[in-house]
Structure 1
Amino acid sequence: MTGAVLVVTAVGAEADAVRGGARDAVHVSAAGVGPAAAAGGTARLLALAEAAGTPYRAVISAGIAGGFDGRAAVGATVLGVRSIAADLGAESPAGFLPVETLGFGTSVIEADGELLASLTAALPEAVRGDILTLCTVTGSGATAARLARAHPAAVAEAMEGYGVASAATAAAVPFAELRTVSNPVGPRDRASWRIATALAALTKAAAAL
C-alpha cells in the first residue's frame, strides 16, 4: 500500500518527539487535547489529503499516557489492541453504564489487525492491551481501581485515541494507537511523573513507523 502514515498527537512536545524518530513517509500533527479535538483534527487532515489525491495509508494516535499499575510501567511503550471511550455513557444507581448498554453505539474501536501486527513486530518489547480514552483523566486511587476492574485488559489511559480512531474508521483508513508511559494511573503526583523519559521513549518507538 502506498501513501504516507499520519501520526496524530495531542500537543507539540509529543509531535516533536515523534518527528525526532520518524521517517520521511510519516506526517505528524498535533490536533489538540481530548477526543473531540483529536477527532475533528484527524478528520480534517484525512479529508484534505483525500481531496489532494494523496490519501494516507494509515493513522496512528501517538503520545504519552498513564500506565495501569502492574500492567505498564513508567517508560514502557504500549500498543492499543482496542481504543475504548471509558467514560462515554451514563451514570446510574447501579454504577456506570457504557454507551452500548444505552443502545447508542459503541465505545470500543479495534486497531487494524495488519497495522497492529506490523507495529508489534517492529516493537517486540511493547506492552499490548486496551488503551482507555477519557475526557477527565484519573486522579484518585479509587477511580484507577474502578477502571482496572471494569477494563481488565487495559494497560494505559490517555485522552485522544478513541477520537482519532473514530475519524479513521469513518474514513476507512487503518488505525492504531501507540503510547509511552509517563506516570502511573492514580493520584496526581506530578513530582513522580517522568515526562522526559516518556518523550524519549516515544522518539525511539517512532523509528518503527
Structure 2
Amino acid sequence: MTLVIATATQTEMKAVLLGFNRRGRIGCKLPGMGGCCETPVNNHHCLLAITGVGPVNAALSIGRILGECKGISGVLNLGVAGSFDLEQAPLGSIVAADLEVWPEYGLRTADGVDPEGIKFPVWEYSGVDGRYSVWDRIELDSEKGFRMLNLSSPKDLLTGTSMTVSGVTGTEERAHMLMERYKPLTENMEGFSLALACLQAGIPFLELRTVSNLVGSRKPEHWKLDDALQALGRHARELFV
C-alpha cells in the first residue's frame, strides 16, 4: 500500500525532505508541479506529489494520481497555512484540520454565500446511517487518520477548522468576515479538494500545516515563512518516527 505525501509547492516538499534527512531529497528526484515520484520513508512506501497551488490544481493532481495508481492507502497533506488568530495558532505552530470549509461554494448573496442555495451538493454518498450530502464542509478525524495511516502525532499539535480559498485573504476586513461566519483557525488553498477526493475514494485523509502568517495582514512582522518551513520539516520527521 502507498501513502501519498502531497504538498502544493516544491518549496514545501523540500522543507519536508530536509526534515527527513537534511539533504532535501529522499529516494528520488524532487518532482515538479503536477508530478510525483515513489520513495520509501522509514517503513512506509510513499508517493511524493506536488499538486500545484489552489483547489483546481489540487483536484486535478490528486484525481490523476488516484486514477492511475493502484493501492493508495491514504493522503497526507503537508504545507504551510495562515492563522486567523495568532493567540490560538501562533506563527510556527502546527495545526491538524478537523474540518475543511470551502466558503466559495453556493449562491452568493448580499448576506454572504449560501452553500445550499443552488440546490446541488458538491458530493453525495451513502453512510451507515443513510445518505449524506457535502455542501461547503467536510468533517475530518485527525486521530483516526494518524491510526489508519500508521503515523505518529507531532508534539504540540493543535487542531481546528481549516478554510480552503481560491485567493489568499488580503485584508483585515475580509479576514474578520470569514472569522465571524465560519470560525476557521487556518487558511489554505488545497485542503478541501484533497479531502473531497479522499472521501470519494474511501481512503483516509490527514492535513497538517505549520503557520506562516496572520490571515489578512501584509505586515512583515506577521509573516515568518522560513520559520514555518523549518517547523514543517521538523514535524514531518516526527510523523514517521
What TM-score, normalized by structure 1, do the two folds share? 0.87
Mean CA deviation greater in 84-93 or 174-183: 84-93
- Please give the secondary structure, in 1, of the residue aligned with 2:156: coil
Query: CA–CA distance in 1 between the matches of 2:222 and 2:113?
Result: 32
- Please give the secondary structure, in 2, of the residue aligned with 1:64: strand
Task: Choose between structure 1 and 2: higher helix proportion.
Answer: 1
RMSD between superposed Cα atoms in Å:
2.1
Greater RCO (Cα-Cα under 8 Å, separation 6 or more): 1
Name the % identity: 30
Picking from 122, 127, 132, the partner of 2:163 is 132
Identify if the C-alpha distance between structure 1 residues 120 and 111 changes in structure 2 by more than 3 Å, giving closer, same or farther: farther
Mean CA deviation greater in 113-122 or 100-109: 113-122
Equivalent position of 1:40 in the other structure: 60
* 1:158 has 2:188 as partner: yes
* 1:193 has 2:209 as partner: no
Identify if the C-alpha distance between structure 1 residues 120 and 8 changes in structure 2 by more than 3 Å, giving closer, same or farther: closer
1:144-167, CA deviations, whole angstroms, 9 ceiling, x for partnerless residues?
A: 111111122x21001000111122
Picking from 123, 140, 153, the partner of 1:111 is 140
- The answer (yes or no) to whether the contact 1:112–1:174 under 8 Å persists in 2 is no
Alpha-carbon offset, residue 121 of structure 1: 6.0
* 1:60 has 2:80 as partner: no
* 1:4 has 2:2 as partner: yes
Alpha-carbon offset, residue 5 of structure 1: 1.5
- The answer (yes or no) to whether the contact 2:107–2:117 under 8 Å persists in 1 is no
Identify if the C-alpha distance between structure 1 residues 38 and 177 changes in structure 2 by more than 3 Å, giving closer, same or farther: same
1:73-100, CA deviations, whole angstroms, 9 ceiling, x for partnerless residues?
A: 110100000111122223212x212323
Task: Choose between structure 1 and 2: higher strand proportion.
Answer: 2
- The answer (yes or no) to whether the contact 2:19–2:234 under 8 Å persists in 1 is yes
Structure 1: give runs of 5+ residues left out of the alignment: none
* 1:77 has 2:94 as partner: yes
Query: CA–CA distance in 2 between the matches of 1:120 and 1:171?
Result: 20
Equivalent pairs, count = 201
Equivalent position of 1:29 in the other structure: 49
- The answer (yes or no) to whether the contact 2:103–2:113 under 8 Å persists in 1 is no
Picking from 213, 216, 235, the partner of 1:183 is 213
Alpha-carbon offset, residue 116 of structure 1: 4.9
Equivalent position of 1:16 in the other structure: 14
- Please give the secondary structure, in 1, of the residue aligned with 2:202: coil
Structure 2: give runs of 5+ residues left out of the alignment: 21-40, 122-134
- The answer (yes or no) to whether the contact 1:7–1:59 under 8 Å persists in 2 is yes
